[in-house]
A and B are shown apart, each in its own frame.
Chain A
């Protein structure tokens, strides 16, 4: 019994010990989930079809697309004026405006104007606060 529980760890491969243990536990748990939830898994197609049918695809995927675009452009734009945080400011204004308009329900002129003011004032204030007051690096 003593030999069965004895463990010797080689320092050179010690970085793999714990990930292997956790990996094995995860594999075991995955198997248990597959066995005990096989009916739900088999019926997952219906669940995902219903979920996709119920979701507001425009707002969800629109928000995701805008966010990816925002992250992608921030650094290249910031590199034009390095160490000023202007990449953040210039990209944030249209991002806040576009996301706000995307999320808005009744898009009348008054609401759009309010959103425009917020999109200009919000990022500008935050940019000023973080770069001028807190001296933090922004893209």
Chain B
């Protein structure tokens, strides 16, 4: 865990240097950022959209945001990579919403159908953070109660509001809010220094 924590700090320091160099218009820094994070961002976009072609477009849009609008990044509110993930999610969801509502139902069904054992594939975390840390992250997700994990995944990957999730899962809104809160705080505790 200490090694994870050390590595995380080192990664964050590298990212802080990278963003400054990108803000300075240094192409090599941008290429380094792309090489480091494009698999993660592409995987997230593909996971949300369910297809590669649109995910490629999203990745390109996001990278242009990183290049052109890195001044919008506020380090007080999270790491550079978490900001990039958020931009990716928002852009992918914009495209998803532009599609018919029907396809979104299929995406939701995919999440609802996913059981806790369906995580035997290599994850994007493995590419970006290495196998050891990826396994830690995966184990933390698997140990989360299924109802909490489902609410969190529906919120993140489908862009459903908490009210929408409550309707979809036929649960009171307060229950969904509590599940998301408990799940997120529990993950924070379990991941600890790996974050």
A and B: interacting chains: no
List chain A positions with a Cβ less than 8 A from chain B: none
Residues of B bordering A, CB below 8 Å: none
